[in-house]
């Protein structure tokens, strides 16, 4: 009992973790009723905001894979409804978190985890004749802009409430002069992970970020991060810079989409290298594909891993419309990383010690499908095929999973 008592005392003496779980995947976007395709434009804008928030990359819309996906934004939506924002009609949209994460993998983008550091923001304004601290409920455009921009980037912020303790704990001169101890002492009452001071005057905004808890600041101050911005979008720039810092500090590594939305596609009667390279080029240009890579060349047969943005059906239709091929057969095998219709379940990649072929077949059977005929299975990398495709090496072109082909085409 005594040991238990000491354990409880020790636990309660530890600093509480203040990491905040951010709602990354929901947004509200104003609809411009006069604009053509206004709802679609709003959905794409909302998806861009969510992708920026989820990745921490404010330039993510320039990524080629993301551009394709934005054109199919409705595929990523899990909830959609109308509401009001700033007195205007708006779309309230929630995007599917799993699909967004898969898309980021396909685009080879890092992700910023939803649990993020909570930043205490002290904002002091110099009006030219006086300096005042702006509180959470101050009637100030700077406070309103700060909240809006922090919401846009998914940056958790806390503003001082401006009660008696705040007003007596720190002065505007402390904030303006960069005196750390009184700022850290006044911030101790708030459960935050970092402290930022923003100083506003007629020339713009100067900000200082201490990536430490208030308790750590009182004990040993690290070198702060500082910058100055100006212009009409100054607050947006400040929040972007602070968000970029935390996203870079805590983003998960870039993971290739090897297991995200992938199907294997077989092309028969590939008679020459020209047809081969033309096929590869066409596949990467389809709006339904993130990328395509050669898994195996076996005589005049080529097996391609295709990482999908769109559905399998939309991919099949794009291939057929190209006029290069005709469909020989298809089996409904859910792409790896795509839901089989059961919440939380995905098609399984090959397990260690299990062939990729059997893993893909097991995934297909678990989804209620029939087993694929073994004649369609790709040969093992250790097997030797009989001929090449006019100069192309007769071997697996890249290591990794070679799954059961879901679609088999004959080249015309």
Residue ranges of domains in the chain: 19-106, 117-250, 262-411
The contacts found for 34-40 with CB under 8 angstroms, 24 or more apart, are 39/91, 40/73
Which whole number is the average pLDDT over 400-407? Answer: 64
Contact 386, 406 (CB under 8 A): no
3-state secondary structure of 117: coil
3-state secondary structure of 317: helix
Question: Residue 35: its pLDDT value, please?
Answer: 80
> Counting every residue, how long is the chain?
412
**CATH number 3.40.50 given to 117-250:** yes
3-state secondary structure of 77: strand
Residue 361's CB is within 10 A of a number of other CB atoms, namely 21
Question: Residue 273: its pLDDT value, please?
Answer: 77
Does 272 score more than 90 pLDDT? no
Question: Residue 298: its pLDDT value, please?
Answer: 82
* Residue 374 confidence class, pLDDT cut points 50, 70, 90: very low
Residue 98's CB is within 10 A of a number of other CB atoms, namely 18
Six-digit token string for 397: 């072109």
Choose the most confident range, by mean pLDDT, from 160-164, 273-277, 337-341: 160-164
Question: Residue 281: its pLDDT value, please?
Answer: 82
Which whole number is the average pLDDT over 235-252? Answer: 94
Give the whole-angstrom CA distance, residue 296 versus residue 305.
Answer: 9
Strand partners, 409: 267, 327
Does 162 score more than 70 pLDDT? yes
Which range is least confidently modeled, 116-130, 189-203, 227-241, 392-406? 392-406
Contact 143, 101 (CB under 8 A): no
Does 260 score more than 70 pLDDT? no
Residues 6+ apart with CB under 8 A from 382: none
Question: Residue 294: its pLDDT value, please?
Answer: 85
């Amino acid at each position: 009992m005594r040991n238990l008592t000491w354990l409880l005392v020790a636990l309660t003496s530890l600093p509480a973790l203040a990491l905040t779980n951010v709602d990354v995947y929901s947004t509200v976007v104003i609809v411009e009723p006069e604009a053509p395709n206004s709802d679609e434009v709003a959905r794409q804008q909302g998806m861009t905001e969510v992708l920026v928030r989820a990745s921490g990359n404010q330039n993510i819309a320039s990524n080629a894979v993301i551009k394709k996906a934005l054109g199919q934004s409705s595929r990523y939506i899990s909830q959609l409804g109308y509401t009001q924002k700033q007195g205007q009609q708006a779309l309230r949209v929630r995007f599917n978190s799993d699909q967004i994460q898969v898309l980021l993998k396909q685009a080879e983008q890092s992700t910023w985890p939803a649990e993020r550091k909570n930043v205490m923001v002290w904002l002091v304004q110099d009006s030219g004749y006086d300096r005042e601290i702006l509180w959470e409920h101050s009637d100030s455009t700077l406070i309103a802009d700060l909240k809006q921009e922090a919401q846009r980037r998914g940056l958790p912020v806390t503003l001082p409430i401006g009660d008696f303790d705040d007003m007596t704990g720190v002065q505007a001169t402390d904030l303006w002069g960069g005196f750390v101890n009184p700022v850290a002492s006044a911030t101790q009452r708030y459960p935050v992970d970092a402290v930022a001071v923003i100083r506003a005057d007629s020339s713009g905004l100067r900000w200082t970020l201490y990536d430490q808890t208030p308790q750590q600041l009182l004990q040993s101050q690290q070198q702060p991060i500082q910058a100055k911005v100006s212009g009409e979008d100054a607050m947006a720039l400040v929040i972007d810079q602070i968000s970029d810092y935390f996203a870079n500090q805590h983003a998960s590594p870039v993971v290739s989409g090897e297991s995200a939305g992938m199907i294997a596609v077989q092309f028969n009667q590939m008679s020459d290298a020209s047809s081969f390279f033309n096929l590869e080029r066409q596949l990467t240009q389809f709006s339904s594909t993130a990328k395509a890579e050669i898994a195996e060349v076996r005589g005049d047969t080529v097996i391609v891993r295709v990482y999908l943005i769109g559905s399998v059906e939309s991919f099949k239709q794009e291939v057929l419309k190209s006029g290069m091929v005709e469909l020989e057969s298809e089996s409904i095998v859910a792409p790896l990383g795509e839901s089989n219709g059961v919440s939380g379940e995905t098609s399984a990649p090959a397990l260690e010690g299990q062939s990729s072929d059997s893993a893909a077949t097991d995934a297909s059977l678990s989804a209620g499908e029939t087993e694929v005929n073994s004649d369609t299975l790709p040969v093992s990398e250790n097997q030797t095929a009989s001929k090449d495709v006019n100069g192309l090496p007769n071997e697996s072109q890249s290591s990794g999973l070679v799954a059961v082909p879901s679609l088999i085409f004959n080249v015309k």
